[in-house]
Amino acid sequence: MTAISPQVEFLRLAREEGRGALATVIGPEDAPALGRKLLVTPDGLAAGGLGDERIDAAATEAAAELLWAERSEARELGGLVVFIDVVAPAPRLLILGAVDYAAALCKLARASGWRPFVCDPRVAFATKARFPEAEEVLAAWPDEAFAQLGIDRATYIAILTHDPKLDDAALRIALRSEAAYVGAMGSRRAQDKRRARLLEAGMTEAELDRMAAPIGLDLGALTPEETALSILAEVVAVRNGRSGGRLGTSGGRIHEVGT
């Protein structure tokens, strides 16, 4: 374990919109380890400790899970009650294709607390002026854009182009990455052709089954704004582990909170 203060580092991560989990022993009240802290970060580094190597290992495993689930909760670990507090940056939505749908999706994503990025190799279209709500606009091919931005388990990807040169290149990378979601626009007929091309290019059925296509929920969307709503609704549902159905016909809790 390093000598850095877990609490101080956790607060720094929170201020700088980083990702980390702080495990704190909160029970039982007579536990010698009460108040001890262990910080876990996505790169596997840890600071502090809970007083027992086995509990440290269990807390690290639980924290690694919750880091990407982006929720805080209490866990019972080795007879101790450990609260794992998670901080994470706003989720990222990588949008491939500098089209009208992308502009509407950027605007809605930003209003919903997401960080949208737009990528398109066409310099005339991929401009900040066309996408003022985007965190960044990259005039780059998919491989270059993904390499620059990186893809992790909290990355959501929406492919809105209708050009096989762009679509297929993006999907070959995205579907083999850790991305939490990969969606692609196009008719069902276009999806069938795309799937056939990618299979011929060496991708597996299992890899292609990760693709949400046609992208979005069935809202009957017609305009770019309605289509953006359909796409973001599906993305949010996936992030929260929901199917995206109607609340009036679903069971269970409406809002999930940490325990």
| pLDDT of amino acid 28 | 92
Give the chain's residues under pLDDT 50. Answer: 1-2, 258-259
Residue 222: Cβ within 10 Å count: 8
The terminus-to-terminus CA distance of the chain in angstroms comes to: 28
Contact 138, 127 (CB under 8 A): no
Contact 41, 16 (CB under 8 A): no
Buried b (16+ CB within 10 A) or exposed e, 186-221: beeebbeebbeebeeeebeeebbeebbbebbbeeeb
| pLDDT of amino acid 2 | 47
Give the torsion sign (CA, 230, 236, 239, 241).
negative
| pLDDT of amino acid 247 | 60
Contact 128, 146 (CB under 8 A): no
| pLDDT of amino acid 187 | 87
| pLDDT of amino acid 252 | 58
| pLDDT of amino acid 245 | 76
pTM: 0.84
SS (H, E, C) the chain: CECCCHHHHHHHHHHCCCCEEEEEEEECCCCCCCCCEEEECCCCCEEECCCCHHHHHHHHHHHHHHHHHCCCEEEEECCEEEEEEEECCCCEEEEECCCHHHHHHHHHHHHCCCEEEEECCCCCCCCCCCCCCCCEEECCCHHHHHHHHCCCCCEEEEECCCCHHHHHHHHHHHCCCCCCEEEECCCHHHHHHHHHHHHHCCCCHHHHCCEECCCCCCCCCCCHHHHHHHHHHHHHHHHCCCCCCCHHHCCCCCCCCCC
Whole-number CA gyration radius for the chain: 21
